[in-house]
Amino acid sequence: ARPSSRRSRGNGDVDEAAVRRLARRQIAGGVHFLVPCGTTGESPTLSHAEKLRVVELVVDEANGAVPVLAGAGGYDTRAVIELVRDLASAGATGILSVTPYYNKPTPEGLFRHYGAIADGTDLPIVVYNVPGRTACNIAPATLLRLAEIANVVAVKEASGDLGQMCEICRAVPDDFCVLSGDDAFTLAVMALGGTGVISVVSNEAPSRMAALVDQAAAGDFTAARATHERLLPLMQVNFVESNPIPVKAAMAELGLLDPNYRLPLTPPAAAAHARIVDVLAATGLSRAGSPPARQRQASLAGT
């Protein structure tokens, strides 16, 4: 779920109707859990109250059909603990917590940070490792220490380091889930023993991404490779500019939301937008009955 303004026409308010609609679409597409207020959901620009409201909406739409893993991370441990408590009251059934960014804690600092969060809640916690964004990597040795904490149950691994992913999948306990944090690594992580992905592409194509995970989980890697290959251009174009700019533009093209961006995010450049439109068309995801975005842009520019 991400903030947009179909209702408010550009004032930046969270579009509650769109949040509900997107949650229903994901569930109908066969996803196994929902992740409101992750970083693709623009959590850095959501207020505390907005995060709680988005989670309340998603919990209401899920109505117990799937778990709701709410985003709650940051560099202020005390603030994260407070947010986690409030998200639990809002109905979240688990927490996705990105590593502290900017202040670059030591491995011991990371262990104590997550330990303090775990002490403050009974909810299961998924640790989110994305050093390309945070400048802070959770090394396998640190993750193994975290896996000993009872309610630290999984990692969203987005280091981009396949060797590290191999080591993590080899070393963690059998009941600890390794989730890919990059769509393009989903197949590889699951082949190594991982259990799925927390996905960007699922925002655009939930049923296709769910199928990829289901196929790999069933050991049908021939089918999973074929699905992966069809989705790969979309996985790649989602990062033609900083995430979540491209996926939000793509979802607007599909008629799922209005393309409003809170600063410091801005709309994609014209060349990037053209690539997004082309990939959507090639993937068979263009909205039926609407002219290509480049044509609409040209028409607007000429008026």
Catalytic residue list: 128, 156
* Tokens representing residue 115 in the block: 């330990």
| Residue 134 is labelled as binding a ligand | no
The CA distances from residue 71 to 36, 142, 179, 209, 259, in Å, are: 6, 21, 15, 20, 22
Q: How far apart are CA 41 and CA 71, in angstroms?
A: 9
Question: Dihedral sign, CA of 281, 284, 285, 289?
Answer: positive
* Secondary structure class of 151 (helix, strand, coil): coil
Altogether, the residues listed in the chain come to a count of 303
Give helix then strand counts, H and E, for the chain: 13, 6
The CA distances from residue 294 to 56, 59, 251, 275, 288, in Å, are: 37, 37, 15, 10, 15
| Residue 40 is labelled as binding a ligand | yes
- Alpha carbon 102 to chain centroid, angstroms: 20
* Secondary structure class of 242 (helix, strand, coil): coil
* Tokens representing residue 10 in the block: 């550009």
* Contacts of 89 by beta carbon, 8 Å cutoff, 6+ apart: none
Q: How far apart are CA 38 and CA 59, in angstroms?
A: 15
* Tokens representing residue 133 in the block: 């964004």
Binding residues for pyruvate, as ranges, are 40, 198
Binding residues, as ranges, are 40, 198
